[in-house]
Amino acid sequence: MTRVTVGLSTCGIAAGAEETFTALETKLASLPDAPELQRTGCVGMCYQEPLVEISNGDGVRYLYGHISPDKVGRLIDEHLGQGAPITDWLVWTSGGKGSDHAYLSRQHRIVLRNCGNIDPESIDEYIRTGGYLALQKVIEAKDPDGLVNVMIESGLRGRGGAGFLTGMKWRFTRMAPGTEKFIICNADEGDPGAFMDRSVLESDPHSVVEGMIIAGYAIGADHGYIYVRAEYPKAIERLTIAIAQAQERGFLGDGILGSTHSFHVKLKEGAGAFVCGEETALMMSIEGKRGMPRVRPPFPATRGLWEKPTSINNVETFANVPWIVINGAKAFNSLGTANSKGTKVFAMAGKIRHGGLVEVPMGISIREIVFDICGGIRDDRKFKAVQMGGPSGGCIPAELQDTVIDYESINKTGAIMGSGGLVVMDETICMVDVARFFLEFTQRESCGKCTFCRIGTKRMLEVLTRITEGGGRDGDIELLEDLAARVKNSSLCGLGQTAPNPVLTTLKYFRSEYEAHLTNKKCPAHHCQKLLTYTITDDCSGCMLCLKACAVGAITGERKKVHVIDQAKCTVCGECYKVCNLGAIAKD
């Protein structure tokens, strides 16, 4: 039958999808043979929200973008009433049409296989797509060691940042002495610009739950925790529904599917501390203690949660597991590169035309993601760099855009794969300020346990702030490099060890920008406000908009005559630049 679905993840709701859903309910209720109206998650086209899909009875799918409530009437009347799809609004069709068809067609979706295709609050929808068949296969095989071997053979590496082999982590935990063991799903996604885990949990929570149950069977654990950010209310809501449904159907709890294996899952809401994304700090938080990292070894696989063997993986890793069990290790490791198998999900943000989620095979280049899939740079500006790995990552310049996406290649640039945030930057972005922004974040989020992380990052931030405000001094670059080395080498956990990465990579690839800030007291990107000078050109028509916008009276002039800015009074607020309709105010 014909079905109408609306994307109701956080991105869709923020764009007004709930209002669109209500308008569709009202309109469809008046039809004699109304099609089914259903919610779904995020298909990844966040830039096109609100998204509405119409699926005909013959299986042909039409995806429409930017469907606000005022467009609903025409959409229903023409597409459903007259059988005439509205071409101008189409972004993708199963027949290969739509303005943004390349965005989805060039992806290879394993983790995102159900996202935007099923109702995330319906276990029946998940089962209809093959959900929980992997768990059934594992239970019937009665071979946890064989399951671990499959994961090792698949080559799946942890998608949370470090890239450790998932199967090896499971093997170490399985072999660790002790009868009580734990599985933890790390959903504490705190990187600025990253939203992969949130979207998967909101769009396909059962895939993560099923992956955790399978992991529990592999290592011999009967309890698991999902550590999820409290700032993700929709993800928490849908996880809670999924866990209750799985328990009701016998996929969770005691004696799963009539076997002797039991597994129970609890949600633990994090309080927003970025450091709790580090696995030992995360476990401290679950235990009710302050989230601070501890010395390793011992590693969690031997002494983890409550001193018991524990395996910790992130959301994306667990979402891969059911697919690998069903399709086999070879199907997964046939994708990717020699040492980085499978696919990777990226959250595309920044100065990109098509921001959202993409899932691509390992081995694809940065250029292909930015230009071939995501449409290139917004407003046709010049591509400058990408920032990968969040605050722990680094900046990769445009001249390295043919770098392939795998762990080793990205590490060679000085950045890291991280969890998958990819922020695209154009020529208007100041790389010194980018380094300052990320260091401000890690400095604020430092737990304070390590002296060099606590104080060293603060000293680095002070230097960067001074440079961006025009107070840079000779020797500041060398001071930053010295502090960075000390912070990296003296910090206990990954937060401190990687905190200098944005600074070091911008120094490596954009050193001339630092030198311009220091020597000329100018920002080449015209971004750092205190280094700008605003002047009025002869194109001024004397409309007086800039004069009225200036709060400090720095602009003088008569109507229909060129105005003048008194540089001694100017506070460089930029309001005059914003209101000028003629482009008659220059900034330098």
How far is Cα 233 from Cα 210, in angstroms, rounded to an integer?
Answer: 21
- Residue 462 burial (C-beta neighbours within 10 Å; 0-12, 13-18, 19+): exposed
Is residue 12 within 8 A of residue 42, CB to CB? The reply is: yes
Q: Residue 161 has what pLDDT?
A: 76
Return the domain boundaries, the chain: 3-100, 123-332, 343-426, 431-520, 532-587
pTM of the model: 0.93
Pair type for strands 343-350 and 564-565? unpaired
Q: Residue 392 has what pLDDT?
A: 87
CATH number listed for the domain at residues 343-426: 3.10.20.600
Q: Residue 579 has what pLDDT?
A: 95
Q: Residue 536 has what pLDDT?
A: 95
Q: Residue 191 has what pLDDT?
A: 85
How far is Cα 187 from Cα 338, in angstroms, rounded to an integer?
Answer: 28
- Residue 59 burial (C-beta neighbours within 10 Å; 0-12, 13-18, 19+): exposed
Pair type for strands 394-397 and 383-388? antiparallel
DSSP 336: B
Domain 123-332 bears CATH identifier 3.40.50.11540: yes
Q: Could you list the mean pLDDT of each consecutive 10-residue stretch along the chain, which spans 588 residues? A: 93 97 95 91 97 89 97 95 94 93 95 97 97 98 97 95 91 96 95 91 98 98 96 97 98 96 96 90 95 92 97 97 98 96 96 96 97 96 94 94 95 89 95 96 92 94 96 96 95 91 96 96 93 94 95 94 95 93 92
Fold entry, domain 431-520? de novo design (two linked rop proteins) (1.20.1440)
CATH number listed for the domain at residues 3-100: 3.40.30.10
Both tokens assigned to 290: 């302050």
Structure confidence by residue, pLDDT tens digits, 470-521: 999 999 999 999 999 999 999 989 889 999 999 999 999 999 999 999 999 9
Closest CA to 464 of 513, 406, 411: 513
How far is the CA of 392 from the CAs of 304, 495, 503, in angstroms?
A: 24, 7, 10
Q: Which residues of 350-363 are buried (b: 16+ CB within 10 A; e: fewer)?
A: bbbbbbbbbbbbbb
Please, which residues have CB within 8 angstroms of residue 581's CB and are 6 or more apart in sequence? 543, 545
**How many C-beta atoms lie closer than 10 Å to residue 264's C-beta?**
16
Largest CA distance in the chain: 88
Pair type for strands 182-187 and 394-397? unpaired
Is residue 335 within 8 A of residue 111, CB to CB? The reply is: no
Sign of CA dihedral 41, 44, 50, 51: negative
Question: Which residues on adjacent β-strands are paired with residue 5?
Answer: 38, 53
Fold entry, domain 532-587? Alpha-Beta Plaits (3.30.70)
Q: Which residues of 562-588 are buried (b: 16+ CB within 10 A; e: fewer)?
A: ebebeeeebeeeebbbeebeeebbeee
How far is the CA of 440 from the CAs of 81, 443, 446, 568, in angstroms?
A: 55, 5, 10, 31
Both tokens assigned to 574: 């930029």
Q: Taking CA 350 as the corner, what is the angle to CA 346 and CA 355, rounded to the nearest 5 degrees?
A: 55
Is residue 283 within 8 A of residue 300, CB to CB? The reply is: yes
Q: Residue 218 has what pLDDT?
A: 97
Position 425: which residue type? Answer: M
Structure confidence by residue, pLDDT tens digits, 127-179: 999 999 999 999 999 999 999 999 999 999 999 877 899 999 999 999 999 99
